[in-house]
C-alpha cells in the first residue's frame, strides 16, 4: 500500500477532485492547510500597516492506493489537474504504508481499502 499526499492551490480543489473521480479514486481525505515554499508569501497593507503574509492557504489531499501502478496513475492525474505553470502549484509526496484497518469490520491491508 502507498500513501500519496498532494498539496495544491485552493482554486484547484474541484479540478483535482473531479480528475480523481474520473479515474475512479473514491477514497480521499482533504484538508485546508497553510504553508510556504518558493512563493515566500506576499506583503499586504492591513489598517495602514505593512504585514508580511508568509503562509498561504493550500489544499492537501491524502489518498491510499494498493499498487505502484495506481500510485503512478494518481500522481499523474493530480499533476495534470493542479498544473498552472506558476510558482505555488504545489507538491506531491508518496511513501510506503505499513498497514491499514477498516474499523467497522476489522479488515486489514488491501481489503480495508475497498
Q: In whole angstroms, what is the distance from residue 74 CA to residue 27 CA?
A: 12
Average pLDDT, the chain: 91
Could you tell me the sign of the dihedral formed by the alpha carbons of 6, 32, 24, 67, in that order?
Answer: positive
3-state secondary structure of 88: coil
2-113 has CATH 3.30.70.120 classification: yes
List pLDDT tens digits, range 68-105. 999 999 999 999 999 999 988 999 999 999 999 999 99
pTM for the whole thing? 0.85
Query: Between these two residues, 4 and 48, which has the higher pLDDT value?
Result: 4
pLDDT by residue (tens digit) across 28-40?
A: 999 999 887 766 6
Q: What is the pLDDT of residue 39?
A: 63
> What is the tens place of the pLDDT at every residue in 36-61?
776 666 666 767 777 776 778 999 99
Cell numbers given for 36: 510556504
Other beta carbons within 10 Å of 105: 9
pLDDT exceeds cutoff 90 at 26: no
Range 88-91 contact pairs with CB under 8 angstroms and sequence separation of 24 or more: 88/9, 88/37, 88/38, 88/39, 88/56, 89/8, 89/9, 90/6, 90/7, 90/8, 90/9, 90/12, 90/58, 91/6, 91/7, 91/37
Query: What distance separates the 2 farthest-apart alpha carbons in the chain?
Result: 58
So what's the pLDDT on residue 41?
A: 62
Domain ranges of the chain: 2-113
pLDDT of residue 48: 77
Amino acid at each position: 500500500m502507498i500513501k500519496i499526499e498532494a498539496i495544491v492551490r485552493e482554486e484547484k480543489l474541484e479540478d483535482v477532485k473531479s480528475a480523481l473521480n474520473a479515474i475512479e479514486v473514491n477514497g480521499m481525505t482533504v484538508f485546508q492547510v497553510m504553508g510556504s515554499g518558493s512563493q515566500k508569501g506576499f506583503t499586504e497593507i492591513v489598517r495602514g500597516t505593512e504585514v508580511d503574509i508568509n503562509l498561504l492557504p493550500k489544499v492537501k489531499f491524502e489518498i491510499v492506493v494498493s499498487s505502484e501502478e495506481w500510485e503512478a496513475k494518481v500522481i499523474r492525474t493530480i499533476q495534470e489537474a493542479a498544473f498552472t505553470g506558476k510558482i505555488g502549484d504545489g507538491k506531491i509526496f508518496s511513501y510506503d504504508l505499513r498497514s491499514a484497518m477498516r474499523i467497522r469490520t476489522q479488515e486489514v491491508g488491501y481489503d480495508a481499502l475497498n
